[in-house]
Homo-oligomer: A and B are copies of this chain.
Amino acid sequence: MRYLPITDADRSGMLQAIGAPSVEALFADVPEGALLAEPVDLPRHAGEFEVERRLSRLAARNRAAGAGPFFCGAGSYRHHIPAAVDYLIQRGEFLTSYTPYQPEIAQGTLQYLFEFQTQVCLLTGMEVANASMYDGATAAAEAVTMANRVTRRSKAVVSGNLHPHYRDTAATLARFQGFALEAGPPMPAGGEDLASRIDDETSCVVVQYPDLFGNISDFSALAEAAHAKGALLVVVVTEIVALGALRPPGEMGADIVAAEGQSLGNAMGFGGPHLGLFAARTRHMRQMPGRLCGETVDADGRRGYVLTLATREQHIRRERATSNICTNSGLCSLAFTIHLTLLGETGLKRLAALNHAGAVSLADRLGARVVTPAFFNEFTVRLAGDAAGAVEQLAGEGILAGVPVSRLHPGAGLDDLLLVAVTETTDEEDLAALAEALS
C-alpha cells in the first residue's frame, strides 16, 4: 500500500530486534475476543486513480456554484480566491505542520498568525484578536461564555436577527452550561429594540452586522445602553468582506466581535471548514478563548514569535481553562491572511464596493420587493409565494437563487422571504437572469 513504507522484511527484522513473535503479540493487552482476527467488512485498498474516479463521480452529483447564476449567502459566501492563496497554503511546510509549540521551527506559522491577528484587529476595529476558532457560530457561542466570565453574569440577550444556527449553537451551550439565552423573534426589516431588554443580570447583548436579513444598523447606542448596565456588546459578522465597506464594530463600542472569516481565502465547501474570528478589548484579553500569538525575542535578541498567554488554555489550565478548544482553523486563517494581504487596503475596499454595487444593482431591478432598507451584499426579497418552492424550481432551471428564510426559520411565517447575496463573482448576466426569474 503506497502510504505504508514498512516492508515485510522490515517487519520481521524489527520484530526480531524487539523480541516479539508477531505484530499481533503487541496487542496482547487488548481484552480477550476484542482483537479482530480479520479485516473489517469494508472494501480493500484502492489505487489513486480508482479513488479519484469514485470521488469524482460523487462530486459530479452536486451542482457546483460556478456552473450558473448563484445567489446563496446566509453565512457562507462565494468569493474569488486568488490562485496564489491555494498554492501557498498547500506548501508542505504549512500544510503538514502542527500547532507551533516548537517556535524555533515554526516561525512561519507564528508570523502569519501574528499578521492574521493584526489584520482581524484592523478589520473589526478591535484591540486584540486570537488565532481563530472553528467557525463564526462557535466563535459567537464562545463570545457569550466569555462575556459571562467577564461580567460574572449569566444571561445573554440575543437579537432575533442573529443567524438561527448561531443562536442555536450558543443556546446549546447555554443549556449545558446553565446560563440563560433570550432570543427575540426575527424582524426581517430590522427595527428591533434590544436596549430595553438589557437588565442588571445581562452579561451581553448579541447582534449581527449585517444581520441575517442583510440589515445594517448602527449599534453605538446599543453599546452605550449595554455598558450602562455593565453588560458587553457582542457583534457577530458572518460576511467579513462587509467590513471593507462598513464602519467597524469596534468603532461602535463592541466589546467582542465574533465573525465568520470564510469569505476571505476559503471556499464555501458545503459549510466547512470555515474560520471563526474572535476579537476583543485588551482589558479582557486574559478571558479570551483560543490561542494567541505574541512577539518576543530569541536568545540572540532577534525578533520572533511564540504562542503566549497559554495559562488561559486547556493544556495548561485544564478544568479552569477559558475554553476547551485545541485544534482551531489554522490553515484557513493562513488562507484568509494571504488573501487579505493580496487585497491590501485598496483591494479590499474595491472588492467590498463591487459586492455592494452588484447588490444595489440587483435591488434596483427588484424594486419594492426588497425588504431590507440598508444592506451590504445580501438582502431579503419578498416573493409572491413560497420561497423554498421557488428556489427548488429555479435550481431545476440552473439558477441557485438564494436561501429561503424558511430554511432557517421554519414555521415562523416568513415563507415568502428569500435571502439573496451578490458578490464579485456574480456578473451582469447572472443579475439579469435572477431578476427575470423572480419577476
Contacts and interface: CB of A to CB of B under 8 A. Distances in A.
Contact of A80 (B49, B83, B342, B425): B49
A424 interface: yes
Contacts of A425: 49
A48 interface: yes
A2 B85 CA distance: 14
A7 to B, nearest CB: 11
Contacts of A48: 80, 82-83
A303 interface: no
A172 interface: no
Contacts of A87: 90
A48 B347 CA distance: 13
A391 B202 CA distance: 76
A44 interface: no
A302 interface: no
A358 to B, nearest CB: 13
A424 B52 CA distance: 14
Nearest to A90: B87
A91 interface: yes
A425 to B, nearest CB: 7
A275 B48 CA distance: 24
Interface string A61-92: 00000000000000000001011000100110
B83 A424 contact: no
Contacts of A83: 48, 52
Nearest to A91: B91
A85 to B, nearest CB: 11
Interface in A380-439: 424-425
A49 B90 contact: no
A433 to B, nearest CB: 16
A49 B91 contact: no
A293 B82 CA distance: 37
A424 B53 CA distance: 13
A164 to B, nearest CB: 32
Nearest to A425: B49
A424 B82 contact: no
A92 to B, nearest CB: 8
Contacts of A2: 342
A228 B48 CA distance: 49
A49 B80 CA distance: 7
A425 B48 CA distance: 11
A108 to B, nearest CB: 14
A363 to B, nearest CB: 22
A371 to B, nearest CB: 30
Contacts of A90: 87
Interface centre among A48, A90, A424 (most CB of B within 10 A): A48
A424 B87 CA distance: 29
A424 B49 contact: yes
A185 to B, nearest CB: 39
A317 to B, nearest CB: 39
Looking at A91, A342, A424, which has the most chain B CB atoms within 10 Å of its CB?
Answer: A91
Nearest to A2: B342
Nearest to A80: B49
Interface in A11-53: 48-49, 52
10 contacts: A2-B342, A48-B80, A48-B82, A48-B83, A49-B80, A49-B424, A49-B425, A52-B83, A87-B90, A91-B91
4 tightest A-B contacts by CB? Answer: A49-B80, A48-B82, A87-B90, A48-B83
Given A49-B424, A87-B90, A91-B91, 6 more contacts: A2-B342, A48-B82, A48-B83, A49-B80, A49-B425, A52-B83
